[in-house]
Structure 1
Amino acid sequence: MTLQTDGSTETNPYRLPRGVLPTRYDIIIEPDLDGARFIGEVEISAAVQAPVDSVTMNAADLECSAATLRQGDTAVAAEVSFDPDTERMTLRPSDGSRLEPGDLQIRCAFAGVLNDQLRGFYRSTFVDDAGETHTIATTQFESTNARRAFPCFDEPDFKAVFGVTMIVPADLMAVSCGEVVSSEILADGRRRDTFADTMLMSTYLMAFIVGDLEATEPADVGGVPLRIVHVRGKSALTEFGLEAGAFALAWLVDYYGIGYPGTKVDLIAVPDFAFGAMENMGAITFRETLLLADPQKATTAELLRIVDVVAHELAHMWFGNLVTMDWWNGIWLKEAFATFMQVATTDAFRPEWKRWDEFSIERGAAFDVDALSTTRPVEYEVVSPADAEGMYDVLTYEKGAAVVRMLEQYLGADRFAAGVGHYLEQHSYANTTTTDLWDALETSSGEPVRSVMDGWIFTGGYPIVSVEPHRDGLRVAQHRFLYGGGPSAEADRSEAEIWSVPVMVRARLASGSTVERRLLLTDDSAVVDLGGPVEWTVVNSGGHGYYRVRYSADLLAAVSRQALEVLEPIERYGLVDDTYAAVVAGDASAAEFIGLVTDLGSETDLHVWQRMIGGLKGLHAIAEPDGRDALAVLIRDLATTALGVLGFEPQPGEPDLDRELRGVLFEAAGGRGRDELVRARARELFETAIDSSAAVEPNLAAAAVQVAAAAGDETDYERMLELYRSADTPQSELRYLQSLLLFEDLELFERTLELFAAEVRTQNAPYLLGAAMTHLDHGPVAWAFIRNRWSELTDRFPQNSIPRMAGGIRALHTRELAREVEAFFSEHEVPQGGLTVAQHIEKMWVNVRLREREGARIG
């Protein structure tokens, strides 16, 4: 955060005055794709609240001219001044007159550059089948980038109606939030498209796109037309996304109990896009890989991700667009809820995917950050645009969604849904704060939601619930779970935060009966009366609580022995995840985790296996050479044994998750496990998969690519590089690109780093460079590359991606390197992600201490 204020608009230099309120924008925009520029005009209808000498708006990277202010029949030219630090533009009547309360018309001409930073109004390019490059002009306005496309009141509570007109080349397609209501060819041959007015909404939800695009025939979803818009030539990849979009829109209308607030839905695949997708009202933009796919070639995980992202953005049409947070500190209100809704929608779309179990893995990423002393509350003060950018992380999305899910399970799904509907109806077309949501849920449920939830939203961190046997059942206690502090010492673990923890318990009593209890733990400890001593128990029954559990030795042994028989898969996942977290924190040994995983060798659930293998790979990375060899043998033996039970070859009609599990096990056995038979089979599958006349089950094909790369030579590298450049689906392109990171040869690895820095799209390159630092042998080489090219890379890449690129330092684990990294970032500020980088650095030191504590003992 850049500075502290009292939270009011008056004391925050980045906030606009409230003396002039916009009600309507009429925008004319003319992009010049060849010249990478645009010009335009905006007329803003506004209401002056009290006499003022000037109007202050937002504008950045724009040239503004011909500004006028009109009240009634009097129009006055306006002097224009800019404050680039706060991205504000002030219009002052040139004759020195004052603006009186009442209606005001603001006019301004503007011009700007179609930038390459993937924000504001920017350029995206693609190459068609004939090798010709085409340019698209598209927008990304969240959080504070509408001001880079047209002068505006660029804060979420300044809601207005938007009318858009685009003047574009006649052979290109233009898209905006409303449907086209008129289209005419001008004398110069260009086309003028006028779009229907939007609903009352915030500036960050506006969008306009133009390029060599085409659209599917619309699907009718309860009277709402829904299309997929894409670059010309990719219509064959739209069927699955269209199916997912139609299902999600209908399901969400039913869940919310409120009709879709717009008039049409366009899902737009953009070749260059900094985020995953963006919920522009009625004109939702996506990365191509998250919308376009061939279901016959995509893995289960890739298809699930498409449904997730489509559902997430459509969920925003109500939660975010219809009802909007008052200011950026409340980003979690829309993002956490949309994340919760995406999981619920995908679970309804394909129940067999067990989407809520999958969410446990994503929640784990939030646990990992929230166990650091540098964590933050889900909601905290946002002052500047850079602060707002820093809010887009796993705490906003995954932690926020996890505590919402925990609340839903505690209240009951029906009472929770009723509260959400009440909230949306009460605040439609308006702005809200977190307490408005709690009030609606309290009204519907009769429960003290605010007192329960405030601690989870306004306090960083989370508890670990310790469980001890008691003559009447169990004694449970809570304290904050922390990994530890900086390089010199462990963090103080005596912090006394107390949460209201919805504890769900299931237990087998010594008498032989099984009982369930629900407890709201509001003190540091409590006794759960189960009617007698227990034989075994599972705390966090159902697996939806946002807390970890640590059992006493006897209780842990009892539940571990019977885990495959008495625990649901999501509960077994929690047992494995909590145990690994205890190892990282120094509260358990690596041997304990390895013992638990070995006991679960007969596991059949995908998500439990993913966590088991993930933990073993984490220990393998920090182990000394002998320990690495021993863990490689263990990974190989566990994975090949499980593959033998599941079957090495896909079977007709088998569940999707079994197919995905086969890929996970195959990659583990042939990758870290270095199994020669699996590696030979991977090469056969790789050769077959790239022959278009043959088909390999997609999950197995994707795993084969990874294994072939891990064991590959220069010839294999050249082939995968060519496959990346000639890929026929977005998923295949990314799959082959990521495989280049797995080659063990140092020269090939260094070629890959250069490729990422120079050729790869900037939407992907920063993330891939971050991933390069996780390479088992060459992570320090990747760090040195980023360090030495820092200025070049940060100039080229989108600013929001820089903290993500830095995230790879978490995998580094030597004290000397950690000191170097820490010193580097003390001299190289990342304004839009300072707190995120601090979290990366702290987790790096946690990894250093884990290696020093366990590295020599493993194996």
Structure 2
Amino acid sequence: MSDHRLSRDVLPRHYALELRPDLDEHTFTGTVAIDVEVATATDRITCNAAELVVLDAAVIVDGERTALSASLDEAAERLVLLAPSPLAPGRARLELAFSGLLNDRLRGFYRSTLVGADGVEQTVATTQFQSTDARRAFPCFDEPDMKASFGVTLVVPEDLLAVSNGAEVSRTPLGDGTDRVVFADTIELSTYLVAFVVGPMEATDPVDVDGVPVRIIHPPGRGDQTAFALEVAAHSLRWLADWYGIDVPGGKVDLVALPDFAFGAMENLGCITFREVLLLVDPESADQRELESVASVLSHELAHLWFGDLVTMRWWNGIWLNEAFATFMEMKAVEAWRPDWDVWAGFGAARAAALDVDALASTRPIEYPVVTPADAESMFDVLTYQKGAAVVRMLEQFLGEEAFRDGVRRYLADHLGGNTDNEDLWAALETTTGQPVGDLMHDWIFRGGFPLVEATVDDGRCTLSQRPFRYDGLDNGSRWQVPVRLRTTAGEQRVLLGDDPVVVDLAGTLVTVNAGAAGFHRSGMEAPHDPGRLTAVERSMTVDDRWADTLAGRHDPAAFAGFAASFVDDPDLAVWQAVLRGIGTLDLVAPEHHRPLASEAGGLLEGIVGRLGWAPADGEDDRTRQLRGVVLAAAGTLADDPGVIAEARRRWSSGGSTDPAVDGAVVAVVATHGDGADRAECRRRFEASGSAQEEQRHLRALALFGGLTEVEALLGEVHDGTVRTQDAPFLLRSLLAHRHHRAVAWRSVTDHWEDLTGRLPSNSIARMLEGVRALVGAGIDPEVDRFLDDHPVPQGALMVAQHRERRGVNVRLRTRLLG
């Protein structure tokens, strides 16, 4: 048994768990009876527990109860139970009584708060167990391959709602103001997927989705913001069940909107939890990006019901398979529902973020060894989700969509209810396609980085070669099996590029070496691109490839705007987002260069702003509406367009806009150029927000206002708890990345480091520190490295190293831009 893995001498089969949360005192008590299989005679049973007080422990064998001694190792998060004599192989039952605190750190069994219609703050008790926090709610065998069924009972105040993974079986008054709520037993689950919620919440009437009841659990008075998510859920459940070829697991689906939640959402079987902003939405006031976020996150969590819940990774090194596949499937589900949203073009930004990290020397393989709980926590990053999804997409497009789906169906059918490694998926795909999938995918999964695929054309023949793409320019000898999809004027051609160059006879004129931007690689072509022959996602990829080359030092950063000028007439959202990512980064790293950069940005944006204006045209599609908001925000904040600023102020003064697509632009422009009175009004609108989207819109805007006094006031609200714990890390990240606020924000973070690392969700610290990428030229360059050397973040060490290296890329970019 390793220091962080449990012995398999004793295996759990079923948990009968009863919990009594005290929402006034922020405590809980509980009992758990664990039916176990003793595989090897032993007098020692080791399971997991943390931050619990074990009150009693016993084992029952053949009806005879024997007391156990219990000792808790807090450092190892282990509970060791000793029997007076060895337990013989066979069945036994462990019985444990325990107590704990409802913490405020958004992990384990924790407390959240909401404000009722009467203005009184009320407590919600809820859970977040992934990766290794079920042990903070009850003693358990807290490893993903130690699956068991769960029977949950909650004893709760009679006026509160209670939900868990299983359907409610009974609710019995106990005569003391509490009810005992019993839930149906679950299928076999990993402990990280168990969940329960107790609080003054409301539930929608269930919607029947092919025999599966679907509800949304929400704070009081928010039922009018559930229709959109219910519509998405109904579509995605039906589509996913058909695609997977397996009925919806679990028997019911509750979607729970929580006021405080560290993650975006969590796929607990039958009791999926969300941040409010990613579930509750008013389509009349939400913009397109916000609607797409709700649809994508909801579809992602539902995809997990099969890929993650029903079939689960064996250990945390394989979490990428769960998360990458769910990310990939969310795109396919939303694409099937709303093809007009062109979600794969939208995925270009996520793909770009993954390529950006993967071009660093400090990148990591998608899968690498996980030993400690901190290691497991560090796996939840852009490489697991976005690179993983992009690689799965690349494989699907190379094998063919139907053949790929058939392989996934075989994989799920072969491993229903079990645990797997990625080799199990490759084996199923090899069986159905006849392709050497394992060999093809090995380097993509176990080697960090990605290739630059270069193409030279001579007399109708295209020579393809590859080398690693890295910002430091080094060739470390890595090579991949690259499924290359060429497109010519005559159609598509596919080839597998290995270590050696490949020559392809072209059927027509070469258009792109990355058709559909489905390949996870950068592209280099000697022949000039013809934007008119490229799809929207290919055009955005072309811009992004050029920007990556600029970061790598292969092009003058001052020339990027000139390159982007060839796309000024482009009507697509993804293309403009790629252009503005580059221009925005230049403005961020060299704020003293803002005036000439604003002039260049204004020249790029003038035409599209003039064409789109402020009002939608009749019959305009959703992506164009979203584009309007993006370019207006950029014109007002990046280009300082006086006309846009004036119109934003007019709309702000009149109470807002009639078009949700431009509301975000109005708020951002006013905040960027606003004064103290504007900030006070923004704060008032934040507090009076009628939806989570409006609340977040105005909270983000508060970080944009200038003035030292205003920034220090906002930082004070972060540190005194006025800003919710779930929002604080992301607000600090925004302040660290602001061209005017970053120095004061950095000092505030370092001054309050101990409080922040003790109070904020541990998984959020490394994400907060993403803002250090912008700490260039602010007179604090050496201080940043010294501080981070002295204050490691174990659960995000690799991510922090990537932020630091990426900051170095920005330092070099700034030097080259300013000469």
TM over 0.5: yes
Q: Take 1:478 and 1:430, find their aligned partners in 2: how far apart are those partners? A: 39
The question of whether the paired residues in 1 share the 8 Å contact of 2:511 and 2:534 is answered with no
- Alignment-mate amino acid for residue 217 of structure 1: D
Q: Take 1:461 and 1:600, find their aligned partners in 2: how far apart are those partners? A: 29
Q: Which of 595, 609, 622 is equivalent to 2:589?
A: 622
Q: State the number of aligned residues.
A: 818
The question of whether the paired residues in 2 share the 8 Å contact of 1:27 and 1:43 is answered with yes
- 1:515 CA drift (Å): 4.4
- Alignment-mate amino acid for residue 661 of structure 1: L
- 1:526 CA drift (Å): 1.8
Paired residue secondary structure (2:403)? helix
- 1:689 CA drift (Å): 4.0
- 1:621 CA drift (Å): 2.3
- Alignment-mate amino acid for residue 687 of structure 2: R
Q: Which residue of 1 aligns with 2:30?
A: 40
Q: Which residue of 1 aligns with 2:518?
A: 544
The question of whether the paired residues in 2 share the 8 Å contact of 1:473 and 1:531 is answered with no
Q: Which residue of 2 aligns with 1:814?
A: 777
Paired residue secondary structure (2:444)? helix
The question of whether the paired residues in 2 share the 8 Å contact of 1:54 and 1:90 is answered with yes
**2:615 counterpart of 1:649:** yes
- 1:624 CA drift (Å): 6.5
RMSD: 1.3
The question of whether the paired residues in 2 share the 8 Å contact of 1:640 and 1:665 is answered with no
- 1:156 CA drift (Å): 0.5
Q: Take 2:738 and 2:806, find their aligned partners in 1: how far apart are those partners? A: 17
Q: Take 1:587 and 1:653, find their aligned partners in 2: how far apart are those partners? A: 43
Paired residue secondary structure (1:597)? helix
The question of whether the paired residues in 2 share the 8 Å contact of 1:324 and 1:334 is answered with yes
- 1:664 CA drift (Å): 0.6
The question of whether the paired residues in 2 share the 8 Å contact of 1:329 and 1:382 is answered with yes
Q: Which residue of 2 aligns with 1:294?
A: 282
**2:317 counterpart of 1:336:** no
Q: Take 2:712 and 2:602, find their aligned partners in 1: how far apart are those partners? A: 29
- 1:744 CA drift (Å): 2.3
Paired residue secondary structure (1:665)? helix
Q: Take 1:147 and 1:647, find their aligned partners in 2: how far apart are those partners? A: 55
- Alignment-mate amino acid for residue 619 of structure 1: L
Q: Which residue of 2 aligns with 1:586?
A: 553
Q: Following TM superposition, where does structure 1 have runs of at least 4 consecutive aligned residues deviating by more than 4 angstroms? A: none
The question of whether the paired residues in 2 share the 8 Å contact of 1:689 and 1:696 is answered with no
Q: Take 1:818 and 1:378, find their aligned partners in 2: how far apart are those partners? A: 30
The farther-off stretch of 396-405 and 565-574 is: 565-574
- 1:815 CA drift (Å): 8.6
The question of whether the paired residues in 1 share the 8 Å contact of 2:561 and 2:601 is answered with no
Q: Which of 657, 672, 681 is equivalent to 2:647?
A: 681
Q: Take 2:212 and 2:617, find their aligned partners in 1: how far apart are those partners? A: 40
Q: Take 2:580 and 2:87, find their aligned partners in 1: how far apart are those partners? A: 67
Identity over aligned residues, as a percent? 47
Q: Take 1:400 and 1:689, find their aligned partners in 2: how far apart are those partners? A: 43
- 1:99 CA drift (Å): 0.4
Q: Take 2:148 and 2:20, find their aligned partners in 1: how far apart are those partners? A: 22
Q: Which residue of 2 aligns with 1:775?
A: 738
The question of whether the paired residues in 2 share the 8 Å contact of 1:322 and 1:429 is answered with yes
Q: Deviations over 1:306-333 (max 9, x none)?
A: 0111100010000000000000000011
Paired residue secondary structure (2:53)? strand
- 1:629 CA drift (Å): 1.5
The question of whether the paired residues in 2 share the 8 Å contact of 1:205 and 1:321 is answered with yes
Q: Which residue of 2 aligns with 1:125?
A: 113
The farther-off stretch of 710-719 and 594-603 is: 594-603
Closer, same or farther in 2 for the Cα pair 1:751/1:524, shift >3 Å? farther
TM-score norm. by structure 1 comes to: 0.94
**2:13 counterpart of 1:27:** no
Q: Deviations over 1:680-723 (max 9, x none)?
A: 10012223344xxxx61101111111001111000000000111
Q: Take 1:421 and 1:272, find their aligned partners in 2: how far apart are those partners? A: 36
- 1:226 CA drift (Å): 0.2
Q: Take 1:542 and 1:641, find their aligned partners in 2: how far apart are those partners? A: 27
Q: Which residue of 2 aligns with 1:600?
A: 567
Paired residue secondary structure (1:97)? strand
**2:50 counterpart of 1:65:** no
Paired residue secondary structure (2:87)? coil
Q: Deviations over 1:178-229 (max 9, x none)?
A: 1111111002121001000001111111011100011001110000000000
The farther-off stretch of 180-189 and 101-110 is: 180-189
What 5-or-longer segments of structure 2 have no aligned partner? none
Q: Take 2:356 and 2:192, find their aligned partners in 1: how far apart are those partners? A: 31
The question of whether the paired residues in 2 share the 8 Å contact of 1:515 and 1:530 is answered with no
The farther-off stretch of 582-591 and 383-392 is: 582-591
- Alignment-mate amino acid for residue 497 of structure 1: S
The question of whether the paired residues in 1 share the 8 Å contact of 2:359 and 2:469 is answered with yes
- 1:528 CA drift (Å): 1.9
Q: Which of 513, 516, 521 is equivalent to 2:492?
A: 516
Q: Deviations over 1:8-48 (max 9, x none)?
A: xx3x2110000001100000100000000000000000010
The question of whether the paired residues in 1 share the 8 Å contact of 2:637 and 2:668 is answered with yes
Q: Which residue of 2 aligns with 1:87?
A: 77
Q: Take 2:9 and 2:770, find their aligned partners in 1: how far apart are those partners? A: 42
- Alignment-mate amino acid for residue 40 of structure 2: A
Q: Take 1:654 and 1:746, find their aligned partners in 2: how far apart are those partners? A: 42
- Alignment-mate amino acid for residue 486 of structure 2: V
Paired residue secondary structure (1:742)? coil
- Alignment-mate amino acid for residue 616 of structure 1: I
Q: Which residue of 2 aligns with 1:388?
A: 376
- 1:798 CA drift (Å): 1.1
The question of whether the paired residues in 2 share the 8 Å contact of 1:58 and 1:147 is answered with yes
- Alignment-mate amino acid for residue 644 of structure 1: G
Q: Deviations over 1:102-122 (max 9, x none)?
A: 001000001000000100000
- Alignment-mate amino acid for residue 517 of structure 1: Q
Q: Which of 241, 249, 253 is equivalent to 1:261?
A: 249
- Alignment-mate amino acid for residue 290 of structure 2: E
Q: Which residue of 1 aligns with 2:753?
A: 790
Q: Which residue of 1 aligns with 2:665?
A: 703
The farther-off stretch of 292-301 and 631-640 is: 631-640
Q: How does 1:292-441 map to 2 (within 5 A)?
A: 292-441=280-429
Paired residue secondary structure (1:54)? strand
- 1:539 CA drift (Å): 1.0
Q: Deviations over 1:653-683 (max 9, x none)?
A: 3101111000011111111111111111001
Paired residue secondary structure (1:423)? helix
- Alignment-mate amino acid for residue 141 of structure 1: F
**2:189 counterpart of 1:219:** no
- 1:270 CA drift (Å): 0.4
Q: Which residue of 2 aligns with 1:229?
A: 217
**2:418 counterpart of 1:442:** no
Q: Take 1:102 and 1:648, find their aligned partners in 2: how far apart are those partners? A: 72
Q: Take 2:177 and 2:461, find their aligned partners in 1: how far apart are those partners? A: 81
Q: Which residue of 1 aligns with 2:789?
A: 826
Q: Deviations over 1:754-797 (max 9, x none)?
A: 22222111101011101111112221221111112111221221
Q: Take 1:664 and 1:97, find their aligned partners in 2: how far apart are those partners? A: 70
Q: Which residue of 1 aligns with 2:129?
A: 141
Q: Take 1:519 and 1:655, find their aligned partners in 2: how far apart are those partners? A: 36
Paired residue secondary structure (1:478)? strand
**2:686 counterpart of 1:724:** yes
Q: Take 2:787 and 2:350, find their aligned partners in 1: how far apart are those partners? A: 30
